Structure 1
Amino acid sequence: MVSVQSPWQIAAILVARLIFAAVFLMAVAFKVMDIGATAGYIASAGFPFPLFLAWCAALLEVGLVLCFLTGAFFTPAALVAGVYVIFLNFSFHGPSRWAGNQAEFGFFVDHFTFLAGLLFAAVHGPGNVLVSKLGRA
């Protein structure tokens, strides 16, 4: 069943998809610009194989960017992104970091706002415009 969307709904969905893609594209860009620093940050959180994990994160984020831009596999991508965002949230902005830097609590809370948007997107899908049929039931 294809629902009819008004012009403002189409625009809002496309802008939301662009925002999701832009956030993950910026994350990829920063990782690739200094993958060593990313690996160091991952190591500082206590994870093994930080360089490998940094490249895995970059590849995942590239995949998410493609899904958000094309609408292909949109719902699974939004759910994976949500799990990824919360994993990152607890790993790098969790309660153990609040005492040393009060801003970390703000980052922690902000990630839940992002999660809410991703969950909403997963439920409602990529819209009917500029959407690949890959991964759509």
Structure 2
Amino acid sequence: MARTAAVLVARLIFGGIFVMALVFKFADMGQTATYIASAGFPFALPLAWIAAFFELALAVCFLSGAFFTEASILAAIYVLFLAFAFHGPSHWTANQAEFGFFVDHFTFFAGLLFAAVHGPGDRLVLRTPPLLGRAAR
């Protein structure tokens, strides 16, 4: 029972984080685009929209358990990208807090890798065929 509860809470946290991120993006897509552009990326507004819908897909996967392993791996890659693109070493000299934000992404990355390996648990899971060639958990 404790394992099931822990897995469900973890899925809620993962899903909640991505829901929160996408809500902030949808609330002010222009500000999100400005932030993306400030990191040196071209086509900031289309990238902001892509990020928002990607985060929506991740949230749905984490909350439903559908394509959980694949979503966990994609989210881990995304979080690692965000760490370097928006909080990496080039940002540390201007703001020391950026180093903390950078490191925080690695704890999230580790949790996502752990989730990818262990799956969505046995309860409240929308079963889907595996996309990565292994049996669904």
**Whole-Å Cα distance in 2 between the matches of residues 106 and 45 of structure 1?**
18
Aligned to 2:24: 30
Match of 2:15 in 1: 21
Does residue 114 of structure 1 match 2:102?
no
AA in 2 matched with 1:120: F
Matched residues in 2 for 1:103 and 1:111: separation?
Answer: 13
Paired residue for 2:124? 130
Q: Distance in 2 between matches of 1:27 and 1:100?
A: 24
1:23-56 CA distances to partner (integer Å, 9 max, x unpaired)?
0000000000000000000000110100000000
Structure 1 counterpart of 2:4: 10
Q: CA deviation at 1:97?
A: 0.2
Q: What residue number does 1:50 align with?
A: 44
Structure 2 residue ranges without an equivalent (≥5): none
Question: 2:55: which partner in 1?
Answer: 61
Across the aligned residues of Structure 1 and Structure 2, the Cα RMSD in angstroms comes to 0.6
Deviations for 1:55-101, whole angstroms, at most 9, x for unmatched residues? 00000000000000110000000000000000011000000000000
Partner residue in 2 for 1:88: 82
Q: Is the 8 A contact 1:74 1:135 kept in 2?
A: no
Secondary structure, in 3 states, of the residue corresponding to 1:118? helix
Deviation at 1:134, TM superposition (A): 1.2
| Aligned counterpart for 1:72 among listed residues 39, 46, 66 | 66
Please report the TM-score for the alignment, with normalisation by the length of structure 1.
Answer: 0.94
Which secondary structure does the structure 2 equivalent of 1:130 belong to? coil
Superposed displacement of residue 135, structure 1: 3.2
Q: Which amino acid aligns with 1:42?
A: I
For residue 108 of structure 2, give the secondary structure of its aligned residue in structure 1: helix
